[in-house]
């Protein structure tokens, strides 16, 4: 079977990502990324993003949806006001620059 070589730093980053995404090994992670990337290029279809929806990510999405349903969110105006206040407090502590 053909092999490739990559920089140690890149390998460690891929190893972390593989673990985060639930892959059993960095080899399977990289192979899956290449298969999806190359298949999309060669057939010119819309990319299949199913592999990105890991159980952990789906749980995060479900939690966020539940928070929104429960009213636990900021409107855009509330977020602007929050950051305006934070900015003013920072300027008071540190002075305008």
Are the CB atoms for 32 and 23 separated by under 8 Å? yes
pLDDT per residue, tens digit, the chain (97 aa), is: 788 888 999 999 999 999 998 899 999 999 888 887 776 566 566 767 888 888 999 999 999 999 999 999 889 999 999 999 999 999 999 987 6
- For the CA atoms of 11, 55, 79, 66, the dihedral, rounded to the nearest 10 degrees, stands at -170
What is the number of other CB atoms lying within 10 angstroms of the CB of residue 18?
Answer: 19
Are the CB atoms for 29 and 23 separated by under 8 Å? yes
pTM for the whole thing?
A: 0.42
So what's the pLDDT on residue 35?
A: 82
Q: Give me the DSSP letters along 1-24.
A: -------HHHHHHHHHHHHHTT-S
């Amino acid at each position: 079977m053909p092999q490739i070589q990559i920089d140690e730093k890149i390998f460690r980053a891929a190893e972390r990502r593989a673990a985060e995404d639930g892959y059993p090994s960095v080899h399977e992670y990289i192979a899956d990324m290449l298969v999806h990337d190359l298949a999309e290029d060669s057939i010119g279809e819309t990319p299949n993003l199913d592999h990105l929806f890991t159980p952990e990510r789906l749980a995060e999405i479900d939690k966020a949806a539940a928070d929104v349903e429960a009213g636990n969110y900021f409107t855009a105006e509330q977020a602007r006001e929050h950051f305006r206040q934070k900015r003013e407090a920072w300027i008071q502590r540190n002075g305008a620059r």
